[in-house]
C-alpha cells in the first residue's frame, strides 16, 4: 500500500526561496506533497532553478517576485499565491538578510532601518497579509526564521541583525497566542552555522567560517536540508500541538 506524502494537498508560500535555505525548504515541502509558491526578491534565474526542482516532485508550483519591505508588494504576493494555489495552509517567512556588517557606533539610520525592515518587517507584513487566508484553512501553519544570533548577539557587526532576529522570535510567540484560537500554529527556527549558503559565503571569510565550525559541539556545519526537514515536520499533522516554540538547529552551539 502506498502511503501518501504527509503534506499532500497542502498549499504553501515560502518567502526568500530562490536560493539557499529557502530553496531547500520549498523543495522539502514539495517532496512532502505540498503545492508551493516560490518567492524571490532579486535573482529570477535562481528562483527559476528552484521552481524546476519543485516541479520535478510532481506538485503544482509557480514563481512570484516581490519586495518584502513594501506592503503593497507583499499584499500582492499573498493574493497571487492564494489565487494560484486556491487557498493557503502554510506560510514560511524565510526572507531576510544581514545587509552588511556594521558596528553600531558608525551605523547610519538607513542601515539600521534596512536590516529591521528586511527581517522583522518582512515577517510582519507577510503574516499579516496571510492571516485571513490561513483562518480559512483547517491546517494553518506559520514558520518564521530567527537565528542563533537572536540568542548570542551574532558575530562582528551584526548587533542589529541579532536584534531583528530576536524581534522575530518575540513576534512569533505573540502570534502563536493570537492565532491559536483559529487553529493556526506559529513557530520559529533558529539556525546556527549552515554551510554553503549565500549568507556565510558573502559575509564571512573562510577563516571565520572555520572558526565558527570549530565551536560547534557536533564539529560540522549544518545543511540546508536539515533546516528544511524541521520546517516540513512543523507543517505536518504530527507537530499540531507545537506552538510558540523556537527550535534551535545549531549542532549544540547554544544551550539555554
- Judge whether 4 lies within some domain: no
Asked if the structure places residue 30 within a domain, the reply is yes
The enclosing domain of 34 has a CATH number of 3.40.50.720
Give the domain range for residue 154.
Answer: 11-249
In a domain, 208, yes or no: yes
Active site residue 112: no
Question: Is residue 170 situated within a structural domain?
Answer: yes
8 Å CB contact between 63 and 38: yes
Whether 196 is in a domain gets the answer yes
- Here the contacts of 74-79 (C-beta below 8 Å, separation 24 or greater) are 74/122, 74/125, 74/126, 74/129, 75/125, 75/129, 77/13, 77/15, 77/39, 77/126, 77/129, 78/13, 78/126, 78/129, 78/130, 78/133, 79/129
Q: Of 66, 92, 117, 161, which one is the catalytic site residue?
A: 161
Segment 126-168, tens digit of pLDDT? 999 999 999 999 999 999 999 999 999 999 999 999 999 999 9
Could you give the number of structural domains in the chain? 1
Question: How far apart are alpha carbons 214 and 231 in whole angstroms?
Answer: 26
Q: What is the pLDDT of residues 184-223, one digit of tens each?
A: 999 999 999 998 776 655 656 777 778 888 889 999 999 9
Q: Is the pLDDT of residue 176 over 70?
A: yes
The string of pLDDT tens digits covering residues 56-94 is 999 999 999 999 999 999 999 999 999 999 999 999 999
Residue 185 is assigned to a structural domain of this protein: yes
Give domain status of residue 256, yes or no: no
Output the pTM of the full model.
Answer: 0.94
Within a domain: 255: no
Amino acid at each position: 500500500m502506498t502511503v501518501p506524502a504527509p503534506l499532500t494537498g497542502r498549499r504553501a508560500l515560502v518567502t526568500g526561496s530562490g536560493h539557499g535555505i529557502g530553496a531547500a525548504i520549498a523543495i522539502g515541502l514539495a517532496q512532502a506533497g505540498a503545492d508551493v509558491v516560490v518567492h524571490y526578491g532579486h535573482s529570477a534565474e535562481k528562483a527559476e532553478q528552484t521552481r524546476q526542482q519543485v516541479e520535478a516532485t510532481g506538485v503544482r508550483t509557480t514563481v512570484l517576485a516581490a519586495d518584502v519591505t513594501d506592503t503593497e508588494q507583499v499584499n500582492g504576493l499573498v493574493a497571487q499565491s492564494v489565487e494560484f494555489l486556491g487557498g493557503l495552509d502554510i506560510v514560511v517567512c524565510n526572507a531576510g538578510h544581514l545587509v552588511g556588517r556594521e558596528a553600531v557606533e558608525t551605523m547610519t539610520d538607513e542601515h539600521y532601518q534596512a536590516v529591521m525592515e528586511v527581517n522583522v518587517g518582512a515577517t510582519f507584513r507577510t503574516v499579516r497579509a496571510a492571516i485571513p487566508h490561513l483562518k480559512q484553512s483547517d491546517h494553518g501553519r506559520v514558520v518564521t526564521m530567527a537565528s542563533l544570533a537572536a540568542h548570542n548577539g551574532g558575530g562582528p557587526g551584526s548587533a542589529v541583525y541579532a536584534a531583528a532576529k530576536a524581534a522575530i522570535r518575540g513576534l512569533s510567540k505573540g502570534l502563536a497566542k493570537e492565532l491559536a484560537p483559529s487553529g493556526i500554529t506559529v513557530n520559529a527556527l533558529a539556525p546556527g552555522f549552515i554551510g554553503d549558503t549565500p549568507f556565510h559565503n558573502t559575509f564571512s571569510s573562510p577563516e571565520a567560517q572555520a572558526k565558527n565550525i570549530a565551536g560547534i559541539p557536533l564539529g560540522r556545519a549544518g545543511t540546508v536540508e536539515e533546516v528544511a526537514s524541521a520546517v516540513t515536520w512543523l507543517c505536518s499533522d504530527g507537530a499540531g500541538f507545537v506552538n510558540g516554540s523556537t527550535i534551535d538547529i545549531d549542532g549544540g552551539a547554544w544551550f539555554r
